[in-house]
């Protein structure tokens, strides 16, 4: 597969994320919360900022308290790209049962997001890494048109865009280096029950890497000549899976951004484990509560626990 060659630098590469920042109402068998911080850009930035500088582009309404994102500022997240518009902030409500891999959407209130156009700060055009979170694919393409020569671009999506904006979504896939979907999205987009076949069909569009998130079953990374499977971290109790996929993407891309050297297949595999490690913390508590307190040292310890869980010696049979 293609390697992403290193640019000589002593500090981590900058990451641009464009997505949503909003309020969530969440119900699970283990509790419920209302009006908590959510949104794809929030989760991604909280995760990726453990590794590298993050620049965030999103829109919030005038009802968003000014101190809501202070913890991201303290992490060094650049919020100059956060637009504040008159009106209500994007809000989403979801309910999970004991199977946390599936959920029911109770409501979606777009608020000021309905008129959102991603306009990046002039300095953001030089960002080395770009994550296009789960927004309309036409908006994702607008972002790609505002960055000059990113080292690596990665996109996420969802079933809604597969069903309502498939052509635009396909065009975006053709323009990025990596595509990140969950298993149901990959199957629906590719029209197959096989995740391997789904990944191959997406790779045929042009991306070099396909990441498939499988919830409590882990994640799969597929390239032209690699197929890597990572488990999910075994937890005694998971309370809220909201944002786990965006946290995974943040840990994955954050690790790549701080890596000093070429991005080889082995580096990509380590990035998958870092993404899985960060996501495993996210689900331990509601909203971003665990991510607010998470440290890089905790992630490193869990990374090595992953190594221990998956290591085995070759067995020679008589």
Closest CA to 113 of 83, 73, 69: 83
Residue 5 placed within a domain: no
Give a yes or no: residue 4 inside a domain.
Answer: no
pLDDT band at 281 (very low <50, low <70, confident <90, very high): very high
Percent of the chain with pLDDT over 70: 95
Q: What is the mean pLDDT of the chain?
A: 94
Residues 188-205: tens digit of each pLDDT: 999 999 999 999 999 999
Per the structure, the count of domains in the chain is 1
Q: Determine the pLDDT at residue 75.
A: 94
Residue 220 has pLDDT above 60, yes or no: yes
315 in a structural domain: no
Buried b (16+ CB within 10 A) or exposed e, 242-255: bbbbbbbbbbbbbb
Quote the pLDDT of residue 309: 87
Torsion angle, alpha carbons of 243, 181, 274, 7, to 10 = -120
Please list the alpha-helical segments (H only) found in the chain: 40-48, 70-74, 137-144, 159-164, 166-175, 183-190, 195-203, 244-258, 265-282, 289-293, 296-310
Q: What is the CATH number of the domain that holds 289?
A: 3.40.1190.20
Task: For residue 133, give the nearest of 229, 45, 26, 232 by alpha carbon.
Answer: 45
- The CA–CA distances, whole Å, from 100 to 54, 94, 171, 244 equal 29, 11, 32, 11
**19 domain-assigned:** yes
DSSP 3-state of 262 = coil
In our burial notation (b when 16+ CB lie closer than 10 A, e otherwise), range 198-207 reads bbebbbeeeb
Is 7 among the domain residues? no
Is the pLDDT at 312 greater than 80? The verdict is: no
Has residue 317 been placed in a domain?
A: no
Q: Is residue 2 assigned to a domain?
A: no
**What domain range is 117 assigned to?**
15-310
Is the pLDDT at 65 greater than 70, yes or no?
A: yes
Query: pTM of this prediction?
Result: 0.94
Distance from C-alpha of 95 to C-alpha of 1, rounded to nearest angstrom: 40
The reply to whether 8 falls in a domain is: no
102 pLDDT band, cuts 50/70/90, is confident
3-state secondary structure 140-188: HHHHHCCCCCCCEEEEECCHHHHHHCHHHHHHHHHHCCEEEEEHHHHHH
How does pLDDT run across 3-50, given as a tens digit for each residue? Answer: 555 554 557 899 999 999 999 999 999 999 999 999 999 999 999 999
């Amino acid at each position: 597969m293609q390697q992403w060659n290193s640019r000589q630098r002593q500090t981590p590469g900058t990451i641009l994320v464009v997505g949503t920042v909003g309020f969530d109402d969440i119900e699970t068998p283990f509790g419920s919360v209302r009006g908590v911080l959510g949104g794809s850009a929030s989760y991604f930035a909280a995760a990726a900022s453990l590794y590298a500088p993050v620049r965030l582009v999103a829109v919030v309404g005038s009802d968003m308290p000014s101190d809501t994102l202070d913890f991201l500022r303290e992490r060094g997240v650049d919020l100059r790209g956060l637009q504040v518009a008159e009106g209500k902030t994007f809000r989403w409500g979801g309910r999970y049962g004991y199977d946390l891999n599936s959920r029911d959407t109770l409501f979606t209130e777009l608020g000021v997001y309905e008129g959102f156009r991603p306009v990046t700060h002039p300095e953001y055009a030089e960002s080395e890494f770009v994550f296009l979170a789960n927004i309309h694919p036409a908006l994702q393409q607008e972002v790609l048109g505002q960055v000059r020569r990113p080292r690596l671009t990665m996109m996420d999506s969802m079933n809604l865009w597969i069903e309502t904006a498939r052509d635009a979504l396909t065009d975006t896939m053709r323009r990025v280096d990596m595509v990140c979907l969950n298993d149901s999205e990959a199957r629906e987009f590719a029209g197959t029950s096989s995740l391997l076949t789904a990944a191959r069909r997406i790779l045929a569009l042009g991306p070099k890497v396909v990441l498939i998130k499988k919830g409590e079953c882990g994640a799969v990374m597929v390239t032209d000549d690699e197929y890597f499977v990572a488990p999910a971290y075994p937890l005694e109790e998971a309370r809220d899976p909201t944002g786990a996929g965006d946290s995974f993407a943040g840990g994955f891309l954050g690790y790549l951004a701080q890596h000093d050297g070429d991005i080889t297949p082995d580096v990509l595999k380590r990035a998958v484990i870092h993404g899985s490690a960060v996501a495993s913390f996210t689900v331990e508590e509601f909203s971003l509560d665990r991510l607010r307190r998470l440290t890089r040292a905790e992630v490193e310890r869990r990374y090595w626990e992953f190594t221990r869980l998956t290591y085995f010696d070759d067995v020679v049979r008589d």
